[in-house]
Amino acid sequence: MAKFVHISAGYLRSLYKNIFDVTPKQDILRARIEKAKSLLSLTDKTIAQISELSGFENENYFCRIFKAEVSFTPTQYRKKFIGPEGIRLFQLI
């Protein structure tokens, strides 16, 4: 991004942090976790598939970061959205 607007990466990071109160890296990570949460609650895709679709190159890293950010493993998070008969509590409309 910095090259696109002809400024240094450090300056872009500083501007971004001043405007959005998070670094670009933190913002990207948050977006990836939100996508993973959505996929976990609305699909039957495997954790490996969700990891990849959310932009993580390593499933173990994804699981570690997910747990640190959400306080649940991806599997625990998914189980929160499944009712007693295996029916998803939320469905994609």
83: which residues sit within 8 A by CB, 6+ positions away?
A: 89
Each domain of the chain, given as residue ranges in start order, spans 24-93
**82, β-bridge pairs:** 88
Distance CA 93, CA 31 (A): 21
- Predicted TM-score (pTM) above 0.85: no
Q: What is the pLDDT of residues 7-64, one digit of tens each?
A: 898 998 999 999 999 999 999 999 999 999 999 999 999 999 999 999 999 999 999 9
Q: Which amino acid is at 3?
A: K
56 SS3 class: coil
Closest to 40 (Cα-Cα) out of 63, 24, 58, 64: 63
| pLDDT score recorded for residue 68 | 97
HSE of 58, CA atoms in CB hemisphere, 13 A: 4
For the structural domain made of 24-93, what CATH number should be given?
A: 1.10.10.60
How many CB atoms lie under 10 A from the CB of residue 38? 14
Q: Is the pLDDT of residue 67 over 50?
A: yes
| pLDDT score recorded for residue 92 | 45
Residue 30 token pair: 């948050």
